[in-house]
Amino acid sequence: MRTPPGANFPSLHRSIMSQATSESSRTCYCGELSAEHVGKEVVLKGWMHSRRDHGGLIFVDLRDRAGMAQVVFDPDSLPDGQFEQAHRLRGEDVLAVVGQVRRRDEDKINPNIATGELELHVASFEVLSKADVVPFKIDEHQSVSEDHRLKYRYIDLRRPAMQSSIRTRARVNGAVRRYLDGLGFIEIETPILCKATPEGARDYLVPSRVQQGSFYALPQSPQLYKQILMMSGFDRYYQIARCFRDEDLRANRQPEFTQIDCELSFPTCEEIYEIFEGMMAAIYREAKGIELPTPFPRLTYSNSMARFGSDKPDLRFELEIRDVTEAFASGCEFKVFNTIIEKGGVARALCVPGGAEKYSNTQLKPGGELPAFAARYGAKGLAWFRAEADEGGVVSLTSNIAKFFSDECRAALAAALDAKPGDLVLIVCDKAATAATVLGQLRVYLGGELGLIDSDAFCPCWITDFPLFDWDEEGKRWHALHHPFTAPNPEDLDRLESDPGSVRSLAYDLSFNGEEVGGGSIRIHQPELQQRVFRLLGVSEDEAKDKFGFLLDALRFGAPPHGGIAFGVDRIMMQVMGTDSIRDVIAFPKTQSASCPMTEAPSGVETSQVRELGLRFTPSVEKKLADAADAEAGGGSVT
């Protein structure tokens, strides 16, 4: 545990107070007590973590941000009355203690804590703050529901795991700043009160009091500001920026989140990959002392979808998806497959090593574990085969549906998959996108179930050559896959209008152990091209002018080619800390319903505040508020 920069404790040799009071200066952190303190008198301040009261002798573990130290209350060395007071100490009381540091006898060393060879013999102490009985104990051995942890977050954050998580996050922020500063990036703050834009996530809106009826939006990202900064000639910008998206939450998604937001002028994709591989390496060096090998591997989007069924492949294990459409070209009498393939569908498969025994017929039949899992992602069915060796040692595939497939067909399938005896073959026959998604999800699920994932591995990967647009079936329109300012790949530019779906963009994502931790693109810097893309997206000239006029103007007054990237700090920290929940790397996160159990945000406000904004509730909301007030039985204020 490093002494933080700026922590400036007085010398240990200053004259020591006989009495510990709030006035006496702390000499070191509990967790930093070390051999050099032996024989010296020190002042410690911290929380009473636990107490072992032997009647005639009391041991207390005193805890602070650096760790714990055992302090010993011995009636022979304490002023009158203090030993009796020590009996009354309770969990989480805040204490100042003065005393001499002693080395423990060999047989009394506690190997479980860093300061276990030492203890402080208390000469005097003061209770700086009495604690009520805490709602839950700060105890690694007992789990506490997340609800409670968030309601009493100040207590939860005292837990060593949370301390470590939050402090590692601070060090990562520092490492990022040092790295980017060193490369000439300029940290620039951008507004939180922004203009609402169409496209993209739902905005958090802030009503304007001064201009009633108008709204600001909180930034989904500083996207347009950072592009404008390139046109302002700053050349390299970054910001550790808070972003807001009013969408439903997930284990890896909060409504407000933090991005390392970057933009460069005159970049090539290669430069961007190199710079930010370096940044990720700096993060892992700082946080974990690990050297990430660079350059990171790259995969095109279409490759990644075909082989891993995802644009954020988990490369910590193999288990690749194979296309087996060809194997069914002849000798397959399975109507379902034939029909789908004739209509342009594909058959794709996972060949799961050792899966034949692991998964029973019950788990494989319709409605069973694996088909049910597949159905969640849109699969209409999941076909399977078990690979067995016959007497001659030749691999054959058996299944409840084997009779629909000729021997040749099954042999072709086994060959295409290089199936070994004991393997389980899972096949999805569907539209290419559905087959990819279903098998991609199954791949990750099976990777976990079969223990294929090396949790110590770090597998970053750039995903490149994303499509510029995808077709929104519901809205019957093209839709920007990344965002509307992403540059098309110049090689595909001539198809922009004729075949938009085939146009690749200059966008890239950084995938890390199956999670998208960053993404960006080279931007459009010609106003004409930007207009063409808006047109494709169904943004009329008037709307473009209204919503993005400032950008189109700025592009006309000398816009350098530019591009950038943004990284999700929260997701990177999840990877660094190895947690499954984004809430474990955020000091004050929100629940799934976007509320904060501690502060009870969001909450009602005074009627006058609402009126001032020129707003009124709909009748259904009014009714809900009135019902809630009734239930509270006599709560006088609004809501």
Of 12, 94, 109, 402, which one interacts with RNA (CB under 7 A)? 109
* Cβ 222 to RNA shortest distance, Å: 8
The residue within the footprint of RNA, chosen from 3, 18, 22, 108 (CB under 7 A), is 108
CB of 363 to RNA, least distance (A): 16
Name which position in 331, 353, 527, 597 contacts RNA (CB under 7 A): 597
Q: Among 143, 455, 498, 603, which residue sits at the site for RNA (rule: CB under 7 A)?
A: 143
Least distance between RNA and beta carbon 537 (Å): 9
Q: Which is nearer to RNA, 410 or 583 (CB)?
A: 583
Closest contact distance (angstroms) between CB of 307 and RNA is: 20
Is there binding between residue 583 and RNA (CB under 7 A)?
yes
Judged by CB under 7 A, the number of residues near RNA is: 71
Residue 229 and residue 322: Cα distance in Å, rounded?
45
Taking CB atoms within 8 Å and a gap of at least 24, the contacts of 79-88 are 79/19, 79/124, 82/124, 82/125, 83/58, 85/127, 86/58, 86/60, 86/122, 86/125, 87/53, 87/58
89/513 Cα distance (integer angstroms): 47
Q: Tell me how far apart the alpha carbons of residues 180 and 176 are, in angstroms, rounded to a whole number.
A: 6
Residue 350, CA distances (Å) to 434, 444, 445, 453, 463 in order = 14, 11, 12, 16, 22
Q: Residue 396 or 505: which CB sits closer to RNA?
A: 505
* 3-state SS assignment for residue 163: helix
Q: Interface with RNA includes 117 (CB under 7 A)?
A: no
Among residue numbers 20 through 39, which ones bind RNA (CB under 7 A)?
A: none
Look at residues 440, 421, 422 and name the one whose alpha carbon lies nearest to residue 348.
440
Q: What does DSSP say about strands 346-352 and 256-265: parallel, antiparallel, or unpaired?
A: unpaired
**CB of 116 or CB of 381, closer to RNA:** 116
Does residue 396 contact residue 390 with C-beta atoms inside 8 Å?
yes
Segment 414 to 453, residues that bind RNA, using CB under 7 A: none
CA distance 177 to 579: 24
Closest CB to RNA among residues 416, 496: 496
From the list 35, 133, 210, 633, which residue makes contact with RNA (rule: CB under 7 A)?
133
DSSP strand pairing (94-103 vs 41-53): antiparallel
Q: Which is nearer to RNA, 410 or 482 (CB)?
A: 482
Picking from 344, 346, 429, the residue whose alpha carbon sits closest to that of residue 382 is: 429
CA angle 577, 579, 582 (to 5 degrees): 100
Which of 2, 13, 14, 141 touches RNA by CB under 7 A? 141
Tokens describing residue 605: 């406000």
625 touching RNA, by CB under 7 A: no
Query: Does 619 contact RNA by CB under 7 A?
Result: no
Under the binding rule (CB under 7 A), the answer on residue 147 touching RNA is yes
- Alpha-carbon gap, residue 522 to 82, rounded angstroms: 69
Say if residues 176 and 239 touch (Cβ distance below 8 Å): no
Quote the least distance from Cβ 102 to RNA, whole Å: 8
Alpha-carbon distance of 639 to 623, in angstroms, equals 11
Q: Which is nearer to RNA, 388 or 516 (CB)?
A: 516
Nearest to 225 by CA among 243, 207, 208, 210: 243
We find the least distance from the C-beta atom of residue 482 to RNA, in angstroms, to be 5
Q: Report the site for RNA in 331-390 (rule: CB under 7 A).
A: 376-377
If you ran DSSP here, which 8-state letter would residue 433 be given? H
- Our measurement of the distance from residue 253's CA atom to the centroid of its chain's CA atoms, rounded to an integer in Å, reads 7
Whose Cβ is closer to RNA: residue 113's or residue 496's?
113
**In the complex, least distance from residue 5 CB atom to RNA, rounded to whole angstroms:** 31
Residue 108 CA to chain centroid, in angstroms?
43
Binding residue (CB under 7 A) for RNA from 26, 104, 358, 535: 104
User: In the complex with RNA, which residue's Cβ is closer, 143 or 608?
Assistant: 143
Q: How far is the CB of 426 from RNA (least distance, A)?
A: 19
Q: Which is nearer to RNA, 132 or 270 (CB)?
A: 132
Residues in CB range of 359: below 8 A, 6 or more apart: 369, 370, 384, 424
User: Which residue's entry shows tokens 């968030």?
Assistant: 150
50-89 binders of RNA (CB under 7 A): 50, 52-57, 59, 61, 70, 72, 74-76
Question: Segment near RNA (CB under 7 A), from 128-136, 260-268, 315-323, 381-389?
Answer: 128-136
* Closer to RNA by Cβ: residue 33 or 175: 33
First-to-last alpha carbon distance for the chain, in angstroms, is 48
Q: Judged by CB under 7 A, does residue 483 bind RNA?
A: yes
CB 553 within 8 A of CB 517: no
| Site map (CB under 7 A) of RNA, residues 197-226, x = contact | x-xxxx-----------------xx-x---
Residue whose CB is less far from RNA, 143 or 498 = 143
Minimum CB distance to RNA smaller for 272 or for 351: 272
Using CB under 7 A as the criterion, what x/- string covers residues 148-167 for binding RNA?
Answer: x-x-----------------
| Distance in Å, CB of 121 to RNA, minimum | 7
β-sheet bridge partners, residue 206: 216
Interaction residues for RNA, span 241-270 (CB under 7 A)? 245, 247-253
